[in-house]
Structure 1
Amino acid sequence: MKAKLLYIFFLGFISLQLYAQELLPFVENYSKSNYQGDNQIWNVVQGNDDAMYFANNYYLLRYDGVKWGKYTLPNKTVIRSILVDGDRIYSGSYQEFGYWYRKNAKMHYVSITKGKKVFDTNNNDEIWKIFKFNGKIYFQSFNSIFVFDGKVITEKKLPFLISYCFVVDNQLLIATVKNGIYQWTDSGIEKEEGLSLLENKVVHSIQKHQNKIYFFTQKNGVFVFENNKLSVWENKLNELLKLANINVAQFIKNNQLIIGTANKGAYILDLNDGSYKNINRNNVLMNNSVLSIGQDKNNDLWLGLDNGIAHIEVNSPISIFFDSSGILGSVYSVASIPNGYLMATNHGIFKFVDKELSLIPNTQGQAWNISKIKDQYIIGHNEGTYVYKNGLLSKLSDINGGWNLTKSSIDNSYLQATYSGIVIYDDFNDLNKIKIIGGIQKPIKYLAQNRKNEIWAADNNRGLYRILYNDAHQTIKVDNVTNRCKIVNDFGVKIFEFRNEILFLINNFWYTYNSMTNQLELNQLFNTNFKNVSDVVSIDDNHFIVLQDGFLYYINVVGNKFIKNSIQEKYYKGKIINGNLKVFKDRNNYLLNLDDGFISLEFKNEIKKQPIVKIEAFNNGHLVENNSKINLNSELKIDVISGIYGTEKPDLFYTINGIKEYLPIKEGVILLNNLNSGSYEVTIYSNDGLSYNKTTNFQFVVDKAWYFSVWMIVIYMIFIGLVLYLYYMWNKMKYIQKLELEKEELKHQKEIFEMELKAENELSSQEYEKHILQLELQSKSLEIAGKSLSIAKQSEMIENIQNILDTESDLNKLKSEIKKTIKINAVNKHEWEVFESNLSLMNNEFIIALSKKYPNLTPKDIKLCVYLKMNLSSKEIAPMMNISFRGVELHRYRLRKKLGLAQEESLSMFLLSV
């Protein structure tokens, strides 16, 4: 019970919150963050240069559709009013008026009153309105009117306080604050008769329309003067206007009236049927205080607000239904019904009838699709399928998730894609008779059929299937075509029927199915004309919409030609529900679903007119004329200005130096960076849906780098000349140095020669001394050899004595013989000492080398080595070492061990090699 009460409360709360919505003209808002100005837009006009001008307190604002400019008066006073007259923009402020003109892409101001005694310092005149009458410019304050004939300023002081002046039927009417309406004449001012109802009423606008004069008062509503009689305007809107406080009013095209109020926004009244629309902060305006109204050459409205600017496309074929409350949610499908619209959203099913939006009871949840068949609306919902007819909603099926409904191309049946398969409606006179294709339990999103018992189905996630079934609606075969054809990326497949042919959009490529080869094949026609398409919606055989590179295009097919009309991004930017784009045809309009509502579009199948565009190029903030030069590595910003702000704004493209790559111009700006030096031509093209047409071009030259300029080349030449001169001087100096060096070299060579000669002489002397030494050495050697012989002789003597001792027995004779032998063979002790000394001297190098190599050798070992090196035998060595022959052999044996010689190695040969 408690849950039921909460549910009833929730429905009641929603019904209270659903205030009236309506289909409104598209509004483009500009805030202070856009134009960087002040609050309060007092006046709006369009100049002869197609730019929009705004009086914005301390600034004159200029907007050309691409960029904003703001300018201040020399005396920094508030600008209350502006007027366009030719190339001049007249402005009025506190005790000051003059005109602006544009030169070199900047606004320049000329004061008319400077240096003239125009104003009475006691009146504090402020110019609130400027108008042209009888060829003269009138500047109006609340106390005076100043007339400027181009040379002279004439002041007309008024005896009362006025609100504004108005030119009506070539008459100048003056609306006073308390005294009614007066007319300006050559003789003075005269009160208008029959308008007493306007006394003590502040009139903010006087407009003539269809032979009637309308008086718009601030707080008392609207009065109409007709057949010489003034009466209260008999319109249901009048009572609302009394509470809203009228600020401005103006009749516009198509018998419409726009009224700007102080606290209720703007009312747009259609005088043909009496209907009106209120544009305010609750729907599309930034605030409810409208201070001024202007129109551009396309008859679109510009509202000057207390805080911001609104561009209202009242003559656009595009209208918008917008829900700012969030109650509606994202609209997945929309259809027109009598007196309103039916919408399938993620919050449920809503209807909008007689300006009232309401949720249809018991439909909360995700609704997907609305299809109209005759006078019935089939609505696919998360919880089943509903039918809406004659204002009543009933449930048709409990099968969850009716994504899409498609008519079969072979009969009058309809195919419905659901969460769990395919449903067929054969008889729409009896919708309860449904048939379910057996054996299919996949979530199917898109369907198409052009052959009996064959259905093409795209899975909600991935895959394209060819489903064959029998007459009993039982599945015979499910062919995963994308898998079989080895298409790897088959996510989000779209099925599109065009002129009895089924096309498949898979991963941005278009395919058709070849029944002969049973393969998917690329479709050349569509792949050539529609690259990078992410979504497509069929309207009829000759019209469809594509989402290409993030932009929507309406395609009109004429014969084999595709006429491509872009839908400006501002109408849907950031509001498209990806993968769920749907279009409903409503007579001549098309309803396109968006995140928070929908837009209504009226497409005209006509070739677009060739636009007239202007180019303003800027380099480092300075205007660049055609065929001018810019610096290398600097940015060139090219503003491409069409002077059109609404739906007719052309699609513009550009190429550089004739390369046929048409690049889109986004937001009217071309930015060129990092250009090489040389000549460039930027050509601007418009697209009429069939072809690119040249509109204008801009030529410029990127200058050479500063290091290639004429002056730098002169500097380079001077530098090169200086380098060559220095090189010449350096070579000359080097040549002189070379000569001096050669002279010094000759001198040194002479000294060297003398030194070499001296050295040779000294060397010869040394060689001589060496020779003498060698002779002495040879002499010593001979001496040693002699000593050796002497020693050998002594040995022989000893041997002889030994023989005598062995043979002689007579003692006396023995003594005599021994003495005789000793005397004969006696050796001088001094001679032996000399022998050993000479022997050591001769072999000094050998002894040193041997001692270093074998430090464990004794002097006796070294002596033996010397004797062996002299190639003496053991027998000869024995007496010299005063040992026996056997002792020499034993010593030799020990020496071999110390030297580490093998048995087969010769000791004498080894010592010779040391």
Structure 2
Amino acid sequence: MKRKDLLFYILLLLISIPVSAGWQRPVTNYTRHTYKAGNQNWSIQQHDNGWIYVANNKGLLEFDGVEWNTYPIHNAKTRAVKVGHDGRIYIGGMEQFGYFTPNRLGGLEYTCLSDSLSPNVNVGVIWNILLDGERVYFQSDRRFFYWEEGIVKKIDYSSEIYTSFILRNKLYITSAEGLLMLNGAEFIPVLGPLGIGATVKVGGLLPHQDSLLMVTRDNGLFIYDGTVFKKYNTVAEDFCRKNRVFCAALQDSLLALGTIQGGVCLLNLKTNEMEIISTENGLQNKTVLSMLFDKTGNLWLGLDNGIDCIHLKARLASLYGGKPVIGSGYASCSYQGKYYFATNQGLYRSTLPGQLNQRNPIDFVPGTGGQMWSLHQYDDKLFCCSDNGIFIMDGDHMEHLNNPKGVWGIVSVDDRKDVLIAGTYSGLYLLMKRGTSWRVESYIEGFTRSCKDMLMEDSTHILWVGNKENGVCRLTLADDLRKVEKMKDYNNIIFPRGYDACLLRVKDEVTIASHYGLWQYNRSRDTLEACIWLEQLLEGKAAYTYMKIDSLQNIWYVADGTLKVLHYDANKQEYRRVTNEQFLKGALIENFEDVNLYKANKVVAGTEEGFSLITLDSLPVQQMPLTLQIRKVYLTGLRDSLIYGRSYLYDTAPIVIPYSQNSMRIEYSVNNFNKAHTVLYSYQLSTGGEKGIWSEYSENNMKEFTGLHEGKYVFSVKLFTDGSQEPVESSFVFEILPPWYRTWWSYLVYSVVIVLLFYYVYYRISVGRKRLLMQKELELYRQEQKFQKESDLKDRKIDSLQEENLQSELRHKSEELIRTTLNIVRKNEILLDIKKEVLGISHSISEENLVSLRRKTLRLLGQIDTNIEHDDDLQAFQSTFDSVHHDFFKKLEEAYPELNNKEKLLCAYIKMNLLSKEIAPLLNISLRGVEISRYRLRKKLGLEEGANLAEFLQKFSK
């Protein structure tokens, strides 16, 4: 435990030690692993199309804003590069020099000029390349080579040349002898009242206000106006002397000095202000070998190991260069001459914001370790709301209110200057001022929800509260503010819960920025309604996570993860929005964003990595339009093959592609070197004169197509950035050839084949007609013979049909005879049996034999039933009926085995077209019984309602 306590106190001591911090300009680092070449970069140039070219140890580097390419020069190290007036890229290295020009695939091809020299000429190392009209100078250690009208010549010098420059069509050099000028084929000294000693080495010659600015390695700056030298005194004298200047670059009045040991010194020659940028400010190393101000104001550095780009015109700077040294930023504000930063690690204070890259002390406020949520100034005090309660800063004195825990923020009450309301994780607390101190008075009863966002209505005791889980509600507090008397929720179907909301006042109206758009409170209807007028000024119905109005009435808001601003013009009293003005996309802490206006033109915003400084009055200067190019086109398949590319020169003739390779990948790029500016691409594929549909904007810089149909295509791409107003567009024309079976010659072959086919068909038809005519005559004779035979056959068929008709009539009469005979037989049998029984009964009637009479009567009834259902008679009837009606009973039994004998007879009687009243006595049942039996029979036969039983039985067994 003692060891743990010791470590804790050591850690607390280290945290409390002041450290220096500064607002750092954005710097983009390109390591040698990024550009995949050597470590040292000796010269940097920019082409007219905006691309960057670097003389690297491994050759010429080319950067189009997306991709790096390396072009070696016969395995020699390069030291100098220059873009010529003719577009050629001149290059110089060890023992050779020449130039690069584009090829048809968008790459560069090297032409060596030094090969034209005689073998005994020692080229040496080319350190500088100069342009003078049509003449190109290549400077080595002790001589110049110049190329003019296709011929290479040389000018020798007796000693080492330090540097060279052309001013007003005159070539100047510096050496141990001082400053010299080329006159014809000789170098003559430049005389003046102030000479430069032989020990002074010059790091650069630059034009400045019609004069020549000389940057020495160790002795500072000198100026030469054409007649005299004089010392140019600046605040950078000591820096130059200590760190040794190796190279220099000048843009307008801003002089950049690259050193061996100290990085870069930015010197404003007008204001004599100096800014140092080194490894502490984002550079990869301190040794600067070359420098270039590009056409958009960026400063490129060729380092001893890597390439850096300092975005001098950027409006964004970051604390500690975007490194989370003090944690994630949740809030910031200026209080009594100091600036406070609330982070997830605690509270820090500094004299920041200051000048860029100026080191200022920043220290941790002891005792405030933990999550800080918000900062509020009230009653000349700074209230710091945190996970551990409320910290109150009064000057340099700190007081901690550790109860309640977990405080999101505080709000004031207009008519009670001695009261504050604190919103916590689980309700509200009342803070009251006692004398000069603030104390937690009580818990506000009747409300236990989290109070992440709060807003007090003007001159009322009505408090708005919002959180993710419960949505937005409106609380009415008691007069003593100790109890919630009324609460109403305002979320609905179109404004559901589930997201945090930001509460604020816009034009004295309660306004809510939410994931579902902007809402405003309607007092008369007591509802939340869509704030249409504000949405039209901003992003429409977007997902808003933060909104704040600063002291200048500018509206800061976060939509879709990007910080934006709606500027307020106080003179015109109206708002204006810069469409492409956006900041910190993807760097903000969602639903915990914070913006604080530090000065009229300085804004501090919290980010995931700390804090960033936004400058409002320094709009980005785009001195040249962005260049969008279709960079490369590959045919895709088993192997990707490059068929087209663009450099600063390219062929606009359409590319013709065979149908077998109708799948391709198109890559495009833009010379946007500021990664803070979002670049979005949209593409369109048009064919056959019909315009295609533009795709949605995305950051993807390539598009693949597969299985394209033959035809002429125009692929167009346009970009949209937050640093440019108008979209830039580029296009690429290509043609997909048809497959061999859809080419013109194949259609010609098809036509010839079809014509021959038609001719063959015609020939066959003509021959067939002749053969058909002969066949017709033969057929006619055969038909006559056949007709005679058919006539005889028909006569015989007629006789046969007549005979069949007679047999049918006979069979029908037989059926009627059978039916009649059967009925007569049945009736006679019954009548005879009844007659006998009746006679027997009449002879035996007496009182003594009533019982016997009853038995005979019952026996009579049984005999009647037996006669009606006599099996032998039934079998005989079925046999006869089957012979007449094609095995009716047999088929009926096979199809419906569940039918009993009486139901089978009923089927037969119905098939014989007997009426119900005729069927009743045959079955020895009543007419009603027949109907019931018919109904049951329909069920067993599975007939639906409406189906005719008689028709069904007539068709059955046919």
Same fold (TM over 0.5): yes
SS of alignment partner, residue 204 of structure 1: strand
Partner residue of 2:644 out of 622, 629, 638:
622
Partner residue of 2:577 out of 554, 563, 566:
563
> 2:137 — aligned with what?
138
Moved more, 573-582 or 6-15: 6-15
The answer on 1:582 being equivalent to 2:594 is yes
Partner residue of 2:258 out of 256, 260, 268:
260
Tell me if structure 2 keeps the 8 A contact 1:680–1:700.
Answer: yes
- 1:594 partner letter: T
The answer on 1:369 being equivalent to 2:374 is yes
> 1:547 — aligned with what?
558
Q: CA deviation at 1:301?
A: 0.4
SS of alignment partner, residue 147 of structure 1: strand
Q: CA deviation at 1:213?
A: 5.1
Where does 1:339-350 land on structure 2 (aligned, <5 Å)? 341-350=339-348
Tell me if structure 2 keeps the 8 A contact 1:530–1:548.
Answer: no
> 1:530 — aligned with what?
540
Q: CA deviation at 1:4?
A: 4.4
| Root mean square deviation, CA, Å | 5.2
1:420-439 CA distance string (max 9 Å, x none):
43457788995626666712
- 1:421 partner letter: G
Counterpart-to-counterpart distance in 2, 1:129 and 1:491: 61
Q: CA deviation at 1:325?
A: 6.4
Counterpart-to-counterpart distance in 2, 1:273 and 1:713: 79
Tell me if structure 1 keeps the 8 A contact 2:501–2:545.
Answer: no
1:415-463 CA distance string (max 9 Å, x none):
6533343457788995626666712332211112334111111125441
> 1:8 — aligned with what?
9
- 1:472 partner letter: D
Tell me if structure 1 keeps the 8 A contact 2:681–2:701.
Answer: no
Tell me if structure 1 keeps the 8 A contact 2:298–2:312.
Answer: yes
Tell me if structure 1 keeps the 8 A contact 2:315–2:618.
Answer: no
- Structure 2: stretches of 5+ with no match in the other structure: 352-358, 635-642, 797-870, 888-958
Cα 1:435–1:733 change in 2 (3 A) is farther
Partner residue of 2:307 out of 281, 288, 309:
309
Q: CA deviation at 1:628?
A: 5.4
SS of alignment partner, residue 316 of structure 1: coil
The answer on 1:116 being equivalent to 2:113 is no
Where does 1:764-913 land on structure 2 (aligned, <5 Å)? 902=872
> 1:447 — aligned with what?
454
Moved more, 400-409 or 37-46: 400-409
Q: CA deviation at 1:81?
A: 0.7
Q: CA deviation at 1:551?
A: 3.1
Partner residue of 2:505 out of 497, 501, 504:
497
SS of alignment partner, residue 516 of structure 1: coil
Tell me if structure 1 keeps the 8 A contact 2:81–2:90.
Answer: yes
Q: CA deviation at 1:109?
A: 5.0
Counterpart-to-counterpart distance in 2, 1:545 and 1:421: 29
Cα 1:153–1:655 change in 2 (3 A) is closer
Counterpart-to-counterpart distance in 2, 1:105 and 1:410: 76
Question: Normalized against structure 2, the TM-score is what?
Answer: 0.66
The answer on 1:204 being equivalent to 2:203 is yes
Tell me if structure 2 keeps the 8 A contact 1:490–1:506.
Answer: no
Q: CA deviation at 1:523?
A: 2.7
> 1:56 — aligned with what?
56
Greater RCO (CA < 8 Å, at least 6 residues apart): 2
Q: CA deviation at 1:100?
A: 3.6
1:546-568 CA distance string (max 9 Å, x none):
33333332222566765144455
**Whose radius of gyration is greater, 1 or 2?**
1
SS of alignment partner, residue 20 of structure 1: strand
SS of alignment partner, residue 8 of structure 1: helix
Partner residue of 1:379 out of 381, 384, 389:
384
1:709-734 CA distance string (max 9 Å, x none):
65555455456546655665676787
The answer on 1:596 being equivalent to 2:612 is no
Tell me if structure 2 keeps the 8 A contact 1:165–1:174.
Answer: yes
Counterpart-to-counterpart distance in 2, 1:575 and 1:647: 11
Where does 1:51-450 land on structure 2 (aligned, <5 Å)? 51-73=51-73, 75-88=74-87, 89-101=89-101, 106=106, 108=108, 111=111, 113=113, 116-117=116-117, 120-121=120-121, 123=122, 125-132=124-131, 136-166=135-165, 173-176=172-175, 179=176, 181-186=178-183, 187-190=186-189, 199-200=198-199, 202-206=201-205, 215-217=215-217, 220=218, 222=220, 238=238, 242=242, 244=243, 246-253=245-252, 256-269=254-267, 272=271, 274-280=273-279, 282-322=280-320, 326-336=324-334, 341-353=339-351, 355-372=360-377, 376-388=381-393, 390-391=395-396, 393-395=398-400, 398-405=403-410, 416-422=422-428, 430=436, 432=438, 438-439=444-445, 440-450=447-457
SS of alignment partner, residue 41 of structure 2: coil
Q: What is the count of residue pairs matched by the alignment?
A: 763
SS of alignment partner, residue 588 of structure 2: coil
Tell me if structure 2 keeps the 8 A contact 1:423–1:435.
Answer: yes
Identity %: 20
1:677-722 CA distance string (max 9 Å, x none):
6876958587999x98576675868768657665555455456546
- Structure 1: stretches of 5+ with no match in the other structure: 764-900
1:633-688 CA distance string (max 9 Å, x none):
65574747477758789988788889999867555947475788687695858799
Q: CA deviation at 1:364?
A: 1.1
- 2:613 partner letter: S
Moved more, 622-631 or 157-166: 622-631
Where does 1:731-770 land on structure 2 (aligned, <5 Å)? none
Q: CA deviation at 1:735?
A: 6.8
1:445-482 CA distance string (max 9 Å, x none):
11123341111111254411111112200334453524
1:577-601 CA distance string (max 9 Å, x none):
1111110101111111112222211
Q: CA deviation at 1:626?
A: 7.3
1:337-392 CA distance string (max 9 Å, x none):
68874211111112234523322211111112234559654322221222445555
> 1:889 — aligned with what?
none
SS of alignment partner, residue 289 of structure 2: strand
1:37-85 CA distance string (max 9 Å, x none):
4432221122223322222233333334355444344x34333211233
> 2:854 — aligned with what?
none
